[in-house]
Amino acid sequence: MALRTRSLVAIVVLVLLAGLVAGGRWYESRQPAAQAPSEKAALIHVTNAGDRGPGTLREALFLVAGATAPSSIAIEVPLISLETALPALVSSKGVSLVGQPSGVVIDAHALGDGPVLDIAGANTSVQGITIRNCPGTAILVRATKFHLTGSTIEGCDLGVDVADNASETALERNSFIRDRLAVRFAAGGRGTVVASNQFSEEKDAGLWLVRGGTDVAGEAISVRDNKFSEDGNGIVAGNIPVIIERNDFVNVHESAVHVVGEGVVVRGNHLNGGASMGIVVETARNAVIEDNEIERLTAYGVMLRGSSNILVRGNRFHNLGYGIAFVLGDSRNVSTAIDNTIIEPKYNGIDVIGDSPNLRHNQVLRARAYALHVEDFQPPDQPKVISKPFLDHNNFEVNGTSPPTPPVVAQPDKG
């Protein structure tokens, strides 16, 4: 009897347990699935102008370093005077560094040669910040997708230094004032643009795009709609592919654009004033110089020196010392000038020295010296370099009068 009772109790317990399990599973099925903790964007306020401590820019950079979502740093003080180097911006989730609408200045005069801002994480942007008085570099970019906009860099040795591993860099609507170099690129970069910036009184150059060997794999950097005023050089481009278009160059001291190597297009720019050269193409290959307006220069509008296969097309020159010069080019890969118009040069329209370019459909109007001047070159203790340009349907005038016969009509030697 006792055995039967115990058996019945056991059965009842098992039934109850089964019911509890089934009920628990039903309850779980009615609940929403558990979710991973959400990633929240962080907004850090900089309210302390000191070099270190709570509320400082330094503290904000540490806080966003390990962020798991895009973060923003809002600088709400007018002036930060740095005494020691800041930590790098390393988050790859994206960091926006934004200055207050009334303006923010970071004074870096007490720093050493290192960068003020070291961009080591992708998707970083800086907006509305002035960086001033850097002994070294204002911004070092060594990550992808960096964007600088509405900012000013003034009185630094180097404004923005873009390393060769960076790409999709955008520098837009900024001002660069009285630096040694405003912006330096170490290589071409996919999706990289320099647009609508102001470069003023840069000692060596506004843009320096130079590397030792030809950047065959790099994509062209777009440099467009900028203004260069009173710089030592506007743009120096060497072995980095770049398209330079729709820029204004005013009173540049040495050259508006200096091209070395290959991979450069200079198109649709306006060069105005200065005791300088306009566009200098030196030991370069396969460059295109077209549709530029060049005026009020003391020296040459376009100077080609030791270069090959350069196309100079559709440019307009007026009120300048000289028009175009071809000097010691490659006779096997000759350069070509076509459809250019040169009005009232103070001296010569086109100079050819030890070179044999193709000159087609050009106009030199009212030259005060020679419309076309051709001269052989005699190097010391070496054979003379003969100039033999090929002329085709050009219009050359000296003080309003066309010469009775073309000065040179020789086809360059084929062999």
Distance of alpha carbon 119 from alpha carbon 368, whole angstroms:
54
Distance of alpha carbon 172 from alpha carbon 186, whole angstroms:
19
Note the pLDDT tens digit of each residue in 171-206.
999 999 999 999 999 999 899 999 999 999 999 999
The secondary element (H helix, E strand) that includes residue 301 is strand 300-305
- Whether 82 is in a domain gets the answer yes
> What's the token pair of residue 392?
């085709």
Of 7-16, 147-156, 190-199, 391-400, which range is least confident?
Answer: 7-16
- Whether 306 is in a domain gets the answer no
The secondary element (H helix, E strand) that includes residue 21 is helix 2-30
The secondary element (H helix, E strand) that includes residue 343 is strand 341-343
What per-residue confidence (pLDDT) applies to 292? 98
Q: What are phi and psi of 27, to 5 degrees?
A: -65, -40
Distance of alpha carbon 270 from alpha carbon 274, whole angstroms:
13
What per-residue confidence (pLDDT) applies to 67? 85
- Whether 266 is in a domain gets the answer no
Kindly give, in sequence order, each residue whose CB lies less than 8 Å from that of residue 166, ignoring residues fewer than 6 positions away: 141, 142, 143, 144, 146, 189, 192
- Its pTM stands at 0.87
The residue assigned the tokens 């007026």 is 318
Tell me the Ramachandran region of residue 400: left when phi exceeds 0, alpha when psi lies from -120 to 50, beta otherwise: left
- Mean pLDDT calculated for residue range 28-43: 52
**Pairing mode, if any, of strands 79-81 and 117-119?**
unpaired
Distance of alpha carbon 398 from alpha carbon 368, whole angstroms:
6
Kindly report the average pLDDT of the chain as a whole number.
89
- 150, pLDDT greater than 80: yes
Are 117 and 89 a contacting pair, CB within 8 Å?
A: yes
The secondary element (H helix, E strand) that includes residue 283 is strand 277-285
Of 19-28, 47-56, 96-105, which range is least confident?
Answer: 19-28
What per-residue confidence (pLDDT) applies to 74? 97
- 413, pLDDT greater than 50: no
Burial class (CB in 10 A: 0-12, 13-18, 19+), 198: middle
What per-residue confidence (pLDDT) applies to 32? 44
- 114, pLDDT greater than 70: yes
- Mean pLDDT calculated for residue range 252-258: 97
pLDDT-based confidence at residue 13 (cuts at 50, 70, 90): very low
Which domain does 66 fall in, by range? 41-179
Domains of the chain: total: 1
- 415, pLDDT greater than 60: no
- Whether 214 is in a domain gets the answer no
What per-residue confidence (pLDDT) applies to 402? 56
- Whether 358 is in a domain gets the answer no
Percent of the chain with pLDDT over 90: 80
Long-range contacts of 330-335 (CB under 8 A, 24+ apart): 331/355, 331/356, 331/412, 331/413, 332/308, 333/285, 333/308, 333/309, 334/308, 334/309, 334/358, 334/390, 334/412, 335/304, 335/307, 335/308, 335/309, 335/310, 335/311
Note the pLDDT tens digit of each residue in 126-136.
999 999 999 99
Are 393 and 361 a contacting pair, CB within 8 Å?
A: yes
- How far CA 213 is from CA of 34, 125, 181, 261, 263, in Å, comes to 56, 30, 21, 8, 12
What per-residue confidence (pLDDT) applies to 37? 39
Note the pLDDT tens digit of each residue in 203-241.
999 999 999 877 656 789 999 999 999 999 999 999 999
- Whether 208 is in a domain gets the answer no
Note the pLDDT tens digit of each residue in 296-352.
999 999 999 999 999 999 999 999 999 999 999 999 999 999 999 999 999 999 999
What per-residue confidence (pLDDT) applies to 216? 58
**Pairing mode, if any, of strands 221-224 and 242-245?**
parallel
Distance of alpha carbon 159 from alpha carbon 206, whole angstroms:
9
The secondary element (H helix, E strand) that includes residue 147 is strand 147-149
- Whether 22 is in a domain gets the answer no
Note the pLDDT tens digit of each residue in 241-250.
999 999 999 9
Which three-class secondary structure string do you get for 236-251? EEECCCEEEECCEEEC
**What is the DSSP-derived secondary structure letter of residue 414?**
-
- Whether 392 is in a domain gets the answer no
Note the pLDDT tens digit of each residue in 133-146.
999 999 999 999 99
Percent of the chain with pLDDT over 70: 86
Residues in the chain, total: 415
